Structure 1
Amino acid sequence: MTSVIKYYAGIDSVAVIGNYLPRQCGIATFTTDLVEGISTEAPDINCWAAVMNDKPEGYPYPDKVRFEINQNKLSDYRTASQFLNINQTDIVCVQHEYGIFGGPAGSHLLKLLGDLRMPVVTTLHTVLNDPAPEYRAVMCKLSDLSDKLVVMSRKASDFLKDIYGVPEEKIVFIHHGIPDTPFIDSSFYKDKFGVEGKKVLLTFGLLSPNKGIENMLQALPAIISKHPDVVYIVLGATHPYILKSHGDAYRIELQQMVRKLDIGEHVIFQNRFVELSELCEFLGIADIYVTPYLEEAQITSGTLAYAMGTGKAIISTPYWYAAEMLAEGRGRLVPFSNPDAIAEQVIDLLNNDVARHAMRKKAYTFSREAVWKEVSRKYLQVFNEVRQNRTRNPRPRHSYVENIKAITNFELPEIKLDHLKAFTDDTGILQHANYTIPDRTHGYCADDNARALLASAMGQKYLPTNGLGLDSLSGHYLGFLLYAYNERNGRFRNFMTYSRQWMEEIGSEDAHGRALWCLGKAVSFLDNPGHLAISTTLFNKALPAAENFHSPRAIAFCQVGMHAYLDRFSGDSDVRRVRNVLADRLYDQFSSQATDDWPWLENSLNYANGKLPHALLLSGQGMHRSDMIDMGLKSLKWLLAITTEGKHFVPIGSNGWYERGGLRARFDQQPIEANAMVEACVEAYNITRDHTWFENAAMCFNWFLGQNDLNMPLYDPKTGGCRDGLMADGINQNQGAESSLAWLLSLMTLQTLYAEETLHQWVSNKTE
């Protein structure tokens, strides 16, 4: 297992789209084998199938099939994409054949793929060399929607590059998978099938007129004249589509030809679809396998791959796949529709055991790379590659924000508190969500109730409050923090179960710092005398513990809270003293570690990075320390450069963060990062009045609205909540408290800034 994990680390779920057994077709067999192969090779991955149905009632599928799509019903494709997204599937692997999907040239599939958030790997079972316009268009769009295209022949790769303009780096070659069977003598199973002592020729596969079986039958009299012990087995049921439209006319025609040629004793028709184990036994008894197809335009053939994998001597017409696979002595090619040439090659191989066995060995040896174990590993490698690539180079799926307006015309959404209220019960605000539904499993935390207090207090200051109930909400959250404070040790507890049991006696330094941040800010906003008194008292009780903190983020949160508290109670000398102690400590951490190329206090960037320069800017103002302000502006400017790409904000991802000298994690991007940067940029603007900081604040805020790596909004205008994060494969659809509060605090901060700027411009215009 250890040697394989590197191929698929971080992949938990793979969905394969195609047909599936017991539906009778080559795609169904391939899809089934691929799902089983991946499941065997990587048992810790949940590999399952979403299947196409050509009849409304479907088929009696096994448990591996989790979703069924009516191929002609477009709405099913839309529903399938929703199902895949909801189940947070890591990779989707499509088995593409135009005919199994509905719409012109199978175009319904594009609707499904266009709505997916995760990487898509598409295996092409057909690549046309002279496509009609609609088929070309579908293939080009399919290429655009796929992260990788898997082909099973080199010629298919050439077609994609030369005819469809697909970049070479998007194409990967993987053999058609085959079962891993032993290299055995053809006499081993002959007695089981009643052909002992016979020379067996075999053709298998679903029967249709393009198979060219008639040419093989016409070659038989000449072969029989040299080898009277020959028997030719035609194995396979008539293709379901042919049977539906034309009945069994082709098989009847072949049977009449057998009678006319008087070769009935030498031909056996097995009119059935056989399971893999029996198919391998049939292949085992064959001395020569024949594929007398009539046309060259076949880019892959599972039947030929199976025959090579069982070590058969093969004679074939030169269709594309056969010409490539049987090169270098791995088989013999004969012209199309030429029974004499078939007879000549069969007779020669039956006459020459040495040449026949040498050919068998070459084919068998060549096919070892195509056994399902190896093929499954290669697919896993491709899955891992596209997932990693999507993480490093995200691809926008939707253009939600086509044009972000200039800051002078910027329009902010209205504040909506529905989600905040829905997550608040008689205890406090719940932490987590299943989509938009509160998840009571994880209970509550002081962190989120502190942020909720800040949002409700800030809202009372700046919003029309009629009917919003913000005063009541702030009292509710304040009550939670009052209960969270542990009088015995002067620290806040953080996590509480849904049954109101504290999970700890002391929360982290960061949790305590966040509580002080929000209490201090609430003190600056609250007008309700009772709420103000409790907030002030609780703030002062909890502050002494922070004096001994060394966590830089805990210090930064405390600094922001103390600065706001001192806006209201500037004469509180004890708070000023603690503010100065912690500000010096934070500044010293920066000074001792920062370099010109890495002006930061740590050798990594992780969470809530914007709060650190924000704290320096506030403390520098309060203490009249220009060196602190300069350090704050320098570090914030550097941080913004790292987290800006083009014209959009790219927070440091929580899935690995960013170690100095290493690769930065692109995902998962968290709303608290955008909130911290919005507030820091606003403070930089307040200090410098440089309009660039105003625009930077708006850019970071627009991350919520869709100006991000994927052009997908995290804010949900229906609920007023915010989704939990931007992932490599789309949006985390859960709307937890932390994310929604980060959105509300950012929106209120920017609304306040925008209102103040508008007022400033109005006053300036009046005085001119």
Structure 2
Amino acid sequence: MIPEEHPFEGLTSIAVIGNYLPRQCGIATFTRDLVEGLSDRAKDINCWAIAMNDRAEGYAYPEKVRFEINQNKLADYGIAAQFLNISHTDIVCLQHEFGIFGGPAGSHLLKLLSNLHMPVVTTLHTVLKDPSPEYRNVMIKLGELSDKLVVMSRKAEQFLQEIYGIPREKIAFIHHGIPDMPFIDSSFHKEKFDVEGKRVLLTFGLLSPNKGIETVLQALPAVIDRYPDVMYIILGTTHPHVLQTKGEAYRIMLQQIVHNLNISDHVIFQNNFVPLRDLCEFLGIADIYITPYLEEAQITSGTLAYAMGTGKAVISTPYWYAQEMLAHGRGKIVPFNNPGALAEQINALLCDDTQRHAIRKKAYTFTREAVWEKVSKNYLDLFNEVRQKRIRHPRPRHSYVENIKAITRFDLPEIKLDHLRSMTDDTGILQHADHTIPSRLHGYCTDDNARALLAAAMGQRYLPTNGLGLDALSGHYLGFLLYAYNETNGRFRNFMTYARVWVEETGSEDSHGRALWCLGKAVAFLENSDHLAMSTILFKKALIATEHFRSPRAVAFCLVGLDGYLEKFSGDSDAKRIRDVLAERLFTQFCENKTDDWPWIEDTLNYANAKLSQALLVSGRRMENHEMVKMGLDSLTWLFSIQTADHHFVPIGCNGWYRKKGERARFDQQPIEAKSMVEACAAAYDISHDRQWFENAVMCFNWFLGHNDLNMPLYDPKTGGCRDGLMVDGINQNQGAESTLAWLLSLMTLQKLYADELLHQSSPWSTG
């Protein structure tokens, strides 16, 4: 069957953690089947595995296994988390059984989970009814670190709530997956296995003393007396861990029982770990399948699910999973360790074809919901659900980078320019980076070189410049802007390849506005007379084209730049005239579009939103237009209110933005948004003298330092750079120019804000 196209846009990579074939165990088979099922169901999703090793040399895994963990080596768990985070995995699906993880009660696993950035869905293969304290604590912690816990029985669901206090909404029920096999007569393949004309009983699985196979052997004489043609096949190797510690003692004990009961002609030991195809053929020849476990504490059983899925009449002892699966006439239950009752039930089914076939049909029909095609779809639906929930309601994390903390008062990180310099070559500052390595692939842009000019200019005011080379850097970036300006049309080009070829002759209104914003502000800070002169000339020439700009953000950028320029040259009548035209245009657009519940200029909040409010504030102050200032404060108040949660800043995410009456995008959060809010709040504080705006600016700045949705810092103290964004599954580790400059400009803005606070200055705000 060709799987339907999956509806999970954005879900591209799933990692499943567990044992994996050829390691011999039920979880290894389950993990392999789940990975293959997911891959078949959604072929455009990359599904792969991390395998747990119980021996140093590991196993000869297939290509689907991309990483291995030595279960007893704690360091491997942290390294695996790092590998998953770097691999941009969207979802981790963990297969949990206490014994496959190292540490007390398998607690090494918690190190891995606590360091993951992405959502985790954990499938529980064991849920203990009477756990010791350490096992109970590990399960509770596992519940906290997992976005969802998948159980394969309702009993497990009950235990999680009543014993471990895990809320119902945290739990999902999905059947144990089974292959989709046809409903065939048991005689169909008997000839192949030399049991043609025989009545076949079957038990399969890894042999261990808790399987209770001796009960079936003890029941056989009474069955053979009535049905001399009966054959009992015991299919499976001894469990590797049992083999390692006790050897073949259990198998030898079973063989001795067979010998003592004189039933050797009726028992076949198939000492093989058979592949799926062979297993299904063995199941196909069985007339009755038997699971004679000795204890009730079995919360799931793949062997029972497989047997029912092939339409077998099942007789079982009353362990938890069997009671649930065989209810309503889907199988027969006999007491634990009771050979007489078992023999009676086997004989009853062998003599009543009608009853046996009715049980078969009920079991087969019931398990159609458990075939891997449907189970895989259920898992994909669940993955999509938890991913969307994580986007809407991100979970705080507590793995702070050492020595990084949020600032509360006059406690700012040191300005460090290492990464700014590494991103700059003899042409200008490169746009992007692969982690901390400058990327030549995307070349340069005017936007970033303009911001870099502003950072270098502000740095000359607020940093000890001896040896820092900021004057040289500002000349470098200014030279790029001079070259970017197209004298023919009076507009800035924006994008340049690494080969120094302009991609276009005219950049967008927004990019032109950003260049003017940074040039105008740089004019207010530059002390080098040559740089000041060239910046002023370029600003004046580029200003001419802006009078007819319509893009609200382009207008806002220009207005903030004009405010900086007029701080230096307050008597420039032409600049004031264009400022008045643009400010009135922006103000009118606000007035015409705002509503009581959406006091904004547009029906969508997207990028650099706070620049619009800041432009109204600084322009209204210089023009002494109190209505314009009020509009700026009101819109910024609203903007701040919808971008805060739990006492931290939550910028509108660029992965969908926020449309009026729609659902806001929580991620991807960009540093440029935090910078815009820092500058706007600082301007609001300077104009209103309302202490709350000072605190708001600090809150927005703290977003860089880890007080955000994921409690993870974006600022890198080693490089002085800034990572590119806060994603749903962690941090975008690339440190591009825009992000690093957003950090530096925000830091310098806070430095000036604190300096003014210390000096009790009330002069007009002059940054941003």
Name the TM-score, length of structure 1 as normaliser.
Answer: 0.98
Structure 2 residue aligned with 1:766: none
User: For 2:122, what is the secondary structure of its paired residue?
Assistant: strand
The one-letter amino acid of 2:658's match is Y
1:459 corresponding residue in structure 2: 459
The answer to whether the 8 A contact 2:3-2:41 is kept is no
- Spell out, residue by residue over 1:231-266, the C-alpha distance to the aligned partner (whole angstroms, 9 max, x if none): 000000000001000111111111111111111111
Q: Superposition pairs for residues 461-480 of structure 1, below 5 Å? A: 461-480=461-480
State the partner residue of 1:348.
348
* 1:538 is the counterpart of 2:548: no
Runs of 4+ in structure 1 deviating by more than 3 angstroms, as ranges, are 1-4, 399-407
Deviates more, 1:384-393 or 1:637-646: 637-646
Contact 2:13 2:89 in 1 (8 A): yes
Question: What is the CA–CA distance in structure 2 between the aligned matches of 1:33 and 1:749, rounded to whole Å?
Answer: 55
| Mapped partners of 1:463, 1:195: distance in 2 | 89
1:13 is aligned to 13
Query: Where in structure 2 are there 5+ consecutive unaligned residues?
Result: 764-768
Q: In structure 2, do the counterparts of structure 1 residues 164 and 678 end up closer, same or farther at CA, with 3 Å as the change threshold?
A: same
User: Are positions 1:179 and 2:142 aligned together?
Assistant: no
SS in 2 for 1:5: coil
Distance 1:762 1:484, change over 3 A: closer
1:677-735 deviations in Å (ceiling 9; x for gaps): 11111111111111111111111111111111111111111111111111122111111
Aligned partner of 1:743 in structure 2 is: 743
Query: What is the CA distance between 1:547 and its match in structure 2?
Result: 1.3
CA separation of 1:521/1:403 partners in 2, compared to 1, >3 Å: closer, same or farther? Answer: closer
- Superposition deviation, residue 410 in structure 1: 3.4
Once the two structures are TM-superposed, the CA of residue 9 in structure 1 deviates from its matched residue by 2.3
CA distance in 2, matches of 1:156, 1:760: 64
Residue aligning to 1:450: 450
Structure 1 residue 604, shift from structure 2 partner: 1.2
Residue of structure 1 equivalent to 2:226:
226
Q: CA deviation at 1:532?
A: 1.1
> Partner residue of 1:141?
141
After TM superposition, the structure 1 = structure 2 runs for residues 306-385 of structure 1, keeping only pairs within 5 Å, are: 306-385=306-385
Q: What is the distance in 1 between the residues matched to 2:676 and 2:448?
A: 15
Equivalent position amino acid for 2:340 in 1: D
In the alignment, which residue of structure 1 is the partner of 2:72? 72
Q: Secondary structure at the residue paired with 1:141? A: helix
Which residue type is aligned with residue 70 of structure 1?
A: N
Could you report, residue by residue, the CA deviation over 1:636-672 in whole angstroms, capped at 9, with x for unpaired residues?
1111111112321111111111111111111111111
Show the counterpart of 1:87.
87
Deviation at 1:502, TM superposition (A): 1.4
Q: 1:528 matched to which residue of 2?
A: 528
**Equivalents in 2 of 1:448, 1:246: separation in Å?**
68
> Equivalent residue for 2:508?
508
Q: Which residue identity does 2:119 align to in structure 1?
A: P
Query: Does the C-alpha gap of structure 1 residues 295 and 405 become closer, same or farther in structure 2, counting only changes over 3 Å?
Result: closer
Cα deviation, residue 577, structure 1: 1.3
Aligned to 2:192: 192
Partners of 2:491 and 2:512 within 8 A in 1: yes
* 313 and 639 in structure 1: CA distance in 2 versus 1, 3 angstrom threshold: same
Change (3 A) 1:653 1:762: closer
Instruction: Name the CA distance, whole Å, in 2 between partners of 1:485 and 1:14.
Output: 47
Aligned mates of 1:441, 1:356 — CA distance in 2: 69
**Equivalent residue number for residue 656 of structure 1:** 656
CA contact (8 A) 2:316 2:334 kept: yes
Give the partner amino acid of 2:156. A
Match of 1:271 in 2: 271
CA drift at 1:21:
0.3
Say whether residues 1:45 and 2:42 are aligned partners. no
The 8 Å contact of residues 308 and 363 in structure 2, kept in 1 or not, is answered as yes
Which residue in the other structure is 2:689 paired with?
689
When residues 17 and 231 of structure 1 are mapped into structure 2, their CA distance, relative to the original with a 3 A threshold, is same
- Report the counterpart of residue 440 of structure 1 in structure 2: 440
Q: Does 1:494 align with 2:491?
A: no
Counterpart CA distance in 2 for 1:282 and 1:646 is 58
Alignment of 1:102-113 (within 5 A): 102-113=102-113
> 1:386-405 to 2 correspondence within 5 Å?
386-398=386-398, 400=400
Shift of 1:400: 3.7
Q: Deviations over 1:253-303 (max 9, x none)?
A: 111111111111111000010000000000000010000110000000000
Contact 2:293 2:336 in 1 (8 A): yes
Offset of residue 531 of structure 1: 1.0
2:758 corresponds in structure 1 to 758
**How far apart in 1 are the matches of 2:3 and 2:184?**
32
Q: Is the CA contact 2:406–2:706 (under 8 Å) kept in the aligned structure 1?
A: no
CA displacement 1:93-128 (0-9 Å, x = unmatched): 100000000111100000000000000000000000
Alpha-carbon offset, residue 523 of structure 1: 1.0
Q: Which moved more, 1:74-83 or 1:438-447?
A: 438-447
User: Any idea what SS the aligned residue of 1:56 has?
Assistant: coil
CA distance in 2, matches of 1:136, 1:695: 43
Specify the code of the residue in structure 2 equivalent to 1:235. Answer: L
Judge conservation of contact 2:4–2:41 (CA < 8 Å) in 1: no
Task: State the alpha-carbon separation in 2 of the partners of residues 83 and 356 from structure 1.
Answer: 52
Secondary structure of 1:440's match?
Answer: coil
Which shows bigger deviation, 46-55 or 396-405? Answer: 396-405
Alignment of 1:536-615 (within 5 A): 536-615=536-615
CA distance in 2, matches of 1:15, 1:2: 20
Shift of 1:435: 1.2
Shift of 1:209: 0.7
> What is the CA–CA distance in structure 2 between the aligned matches of 1:501 and 1:553, rounded to whole Å?
27
Deviates more, 1:708-717 or 1:305-314: 708-717
Could you tell me how far 1:761 is from its partner in structure 2?
Answer: 7.8
TM-score, normalising length: structure 2: 0.98
Q: CA deviation at 1:405?
A: 7.5
Q: Which moved more, 1:486-495 or 1:676-685?
A: 486-495
Displacement, 1:55?
Answer: 0.8
- The reply on whether 1:676 has 2:680 as its aligned counterpart is no
Q: Tell me the residue number matched to 1:635.
A: 635
Q: SS at 1:314's partner residue? A: strand
- How much has 1:404 moved relative to structure 2? 7.7
One-letter amino acid of the structure 2 residue matched with residue 157 of structure 1: E
Opposite residue 477 of structure 2, the aligned amino acid is Y
- How many residues are paired up? 761
**1: CA distance, partners of 2:744 / 2:407:** 22
Deviation track 1:533-572 (CA, whole Å, cap 9, x = no partner) reads 1111111111111111111001000000011111111222
Counterpart Cα distance in 2 of 1:197 and 1:665: 66
Is the Cα contact below 8 Å between 2:406 and 2:702 reproduced in 1?
A: no
Deviation string 1:140-192 (CA, Å, 9 cap, x unpaired) is 11111000000000000000000000010000000000000000111111111
Write the deviation string for residues 356-382 of structure 1: whole angstroms up to 9, x where unpaired.
011000000000000000000000011
The answer for the alignment partner of 2:766 in structure 1 is: none
Q: Percent identity?
A: 73
Q: 1:373 to 1:698 in 2, by over 3 A?
A: same
Displacement of 1:756 in angstroms is 1.1
Conservation of the 8 A alpha-carbon contact between 2:311 and 2:363: yes
> Which residue number corresponds to residue 241 of structure 1?
241
Amino acid aligned to 1:510: D
How far has the Cα of 1:310 moved from its partner?
0.4
Task: Summarize the alignment of residues 411-422 of structure 1 with structure 2, pairs less than 5 Å apart.
Answer: 411-422=411-422
Distance 1:44 1:660 in 2: 33
Structure 1 position 5, deviation (Å)? 2.1
Q: Distance in 1 between matches of 2:762 and 2:548?
A: 46
Matches of 1:440 and 1:403 in 2, distance apart?
A: 31
**Matched AA of 1:213:** I
